Amino acid sequence: MNQQTGKVAIVTGASRGIGAAIARRLAADGHIVIVNYAGSAAAAEDLVRTIEAGSGRAITAQADVSDAGAVARLFDSAEAAFGGVDILVNNAGIMKLAPIAESDDALFDSQIAINLRGTFNTLREAGNRLRDGGRIINFSTSVVGLRLKNYGVYAATKAAAETLTAIMSKEMRGRSITVNAIAPGPTATALFLDGKSPELIDRMAKMNPLERLGTPEDIAAAVSFLVGPDGGWINGQVLRANGGMI
């Protein structure tokens, strides 16, 4: 556990997977963490207890990021508890795969709602409420570069997140707020593993020269760098954290 920084970090989708690893890492770095979740209340509360057991500071906050009012209340609760917000990690996301010709409206609408509108909702709130000197991390995917079949709608929502990143970094001029995106490659979480055969998982794990899947902790380390003191000169960039896959 590092010294407390006094910085307050909202991590969206922090109940499971990469978001939970980010919450643990940022708390270990000394930041106060708001563990946002949509439905997994018990997992989020367990995570807060684990962070507190390690002398970190965290609270849970339920909010569906696709709901603008809920996102405003998420920021309200962080400000009420800790006086302000310094770091936003826009990690919440879903992935539904199908060829474009076979993608139904629900597949399209749900990913637009959570991955794109959700990112927009939190960015808008952060643009108005983050304290000067803050940091914003959006989540893309290396599939934006790889352009794999079946990932059309998902990758399109993440390409949009990359564009929002670049433009918002310019709009934060004068406030010392950096805006970057992380684009993981295949990472061992439910989002990647569910519904894939062991053979496919093995094949995708070997697409990078390090020949393994990423871990949530690998991605959390990249977030830690970008929101920490050593990442301050990186702004408006997309960091592909994928073992060298692309």
For ligand NAP, give the closer residue by CB, 198 or 229: 198
Q: Is 238 in the site for ligand NAP (CB under 6 A)?
A: no
Question: Residue 73, exposed/middle/buried by CB under 10 A (0-12, 13-18, 19+)?
Answer: middle
Minimum CB–partner distance for residue 90 and ligand NAP (Å):
8
Of 4 and 94, the one with the shorter C-beta distance to ligand NAP is 94
Residue 125 found at the interface with ligand NAP (CB under 6 A): no
**DSSP calls for the chain:** -PPP---EEEETT-SSHHHHHHHHHHHHTT-EEEEEESS-HHHHHHHHHHHHHTT-EEEEEE--TT-HHHHHHHHHHHHHHHS-EEEEEE---------GGG--HHHHHHHIIIIIIHHHHHHHHHHHHEEEEEEEEEE--THHHH--TT-HHHHHHHHHHHHHHHHHHHHTTTTT-EEEEE---SBSSHHHHTT--HHHHHHHHTTSTT-S-B-HHHHHHHHHHHHSGGGTT--S-EE--STT--
Site string for ligand NAP, 154-183 (x = CB under 6 A): ------------------------------
Q: Which of 8, 154, 227, 240 is catalytic?
A: 154
**154 labelled catalytic:** yes
Q: Is 16 in the site for ligand NAP (CB under 6 A)?
A: yes
The residue within the footprint of ligand NAP, chosen from 10, 87, 95, 130 (CB under 6 A), is: 95
Question: Does residue 138 belong to the site contacting ligand NAP (CB under 6 A)?
Answer: no
Minimum CB–partner distance for residue 174 and ligand NAP (Å): 29
Told to check if 152 binds ligand NAP by CB under 6 A, we report: no
> Given strand 32-37, what is the order of strands in its sheet?
57-62, 32-37, 8-11, 85-90, 130-139, 178-182, 238-239
Count the site residues for ligand NAP by CB under 6 A: 32
State in angstroms the smallest separation of the CB of 64 from ligand NAP.
4
Minimum distance between the CB of residue 141 and ligand NAP, rounded to whole angstroms? 4
Q: What is the nearest approach in angstroms of ligand NAP to the Cβ of residue 77?
A: 14
Report the residue from 9, 10, 11, 15 that binds ligand NAP according to the rule CB under 6 A. Answer: 15
The contact set with ligand NAP (CB under 6 A) reads: 12-19, 36-40, 64-66, 91-95, 114, 118, 139, 141, 184, 186-187, 189-192
Name the residues annotated as catalytic: 154
